[in-house]
A = this chain, B = another copy of it.
Amino acid sequence: MCQLLGMNCNVPTDIVFSFTGFATRGGGTDTHNDGWGIAFFEGAGVRHFVDHLPAVDSPVAELIKTWPIKSKNVIAHIRRATQGHVALENCHPFVRELWGRYWVFAHNGDLKDFHPQLSGPYRPVGTTDSERAFCYLLQQLGKRFGDQMPPLEELTAAMAVLTQEINRFGVFNMMLSNGSALFAHCATNLYYIVRQFPFAKARLSDEDMTVDFSKVTTPQDRVAIIVTEPLTTNETWIRLAPGELKVFVDGQPD
């Protein structure tokens, strides 16, 4: 199993605070040693960092913790290998293009005997069940809607059907973003929080670190954080129900 972290905001925001607690689980407070990755949308572009080193030992993770990259949509992942060996091509998140946009995907869980027919343009490069699921998602979305991205409502309805279908093969906690919306499907464990005015202090559970968000935000800011295990000890995280698909836009659940 692995751990997932997502952020969706209405203004570009840095993820240094949340990532610092999260990255500690990659070989520090938890045993997710088999690589990690993070992808930041910046406009239509994506900054994509993956590493097969544990996040606590990775020079790239160190860079992310000190360099406040601002983004409206971020997905991060730390890996404990279940399927697929420890290699760069098996590190999440994965990035592919559909409808002239990048899509970023990461998965927590394990899919048994999941070998969908991938006859279209998306083929896995690595050997994980997760990348097969991502390729299948994009292939089916492309088949279903053709040349053009549909309105969000139709996309969400299609995602609900597809995530349910894939979830039958095992555990499919996942996050997918196209740079504007962030889809989160809960199989077993996913929690979220929306931080907005009036902002308060938050204390990390994995590191001795507190931030006073009222000092680093404007009253208009709204930030949703989605994660497999709550990151802070003094905030109320909302748990998604098993089987629930939630879509976040501009920092709030739709």
**A residues within 8 Å of B by Cβ?**
42-52, 59-60, 63, 67, 87-91, 95-97, 99-102, 120-126, 142
Contacts and interface: CB of A to CB of B under 8 A. Distances in A.
Most chain B C-beta atoms within 10 Å of own C-beta, residue among A52, A89, A91: A89
A97 B96 contact: yes
A119 to B, nearest CB: 8
Given A43-B87, A45-B89, A59-B67, A123 B96 contact: no
Contacts of A96: 97
Given A63-B63, A102-B125, A125-B100, A47 B50 contact: yes
5 contacts: A44-B89, A44-B125, A46-B89, A63-B63, A97-B122
A96 B63 CA distance: 25
A49 to B, nearest CB: 8
A96 B96 CA distance: 7
B45 A126 contact: yes
Contact of A101 (B63, B88, B125): B125
A101 B50 CA distance: 17
A84 to B, nearest CB: 11
A123 B148 CA distance: 11
A44 B91 CA distance: 11
Contacts of A42: 52, 88
Contacts of A47: 49-51, 88
A152 B50 CA distance: 29
Most chain B C-beta atoms within 10 Å of own C-beta, residue among A45, A48, A52, A87: A45
A52 B47 CA distance: 11
Nearest to A90: B45
A14 to B, nearest CB: 13
Contacts of A100: 123-125
Contacts of A121: 120-122, 142
What are the 10 A-B residue pairs with the smallest beta carbon separation, nearest first? A45-B88, A121-B121, A45-B89, A100-B123, A44-B89, A42-B88, A59-B67, A44-B125, A48-B48, A43-B87
A102 B123 CA distance: 10
A91 B47 CA distance: 11
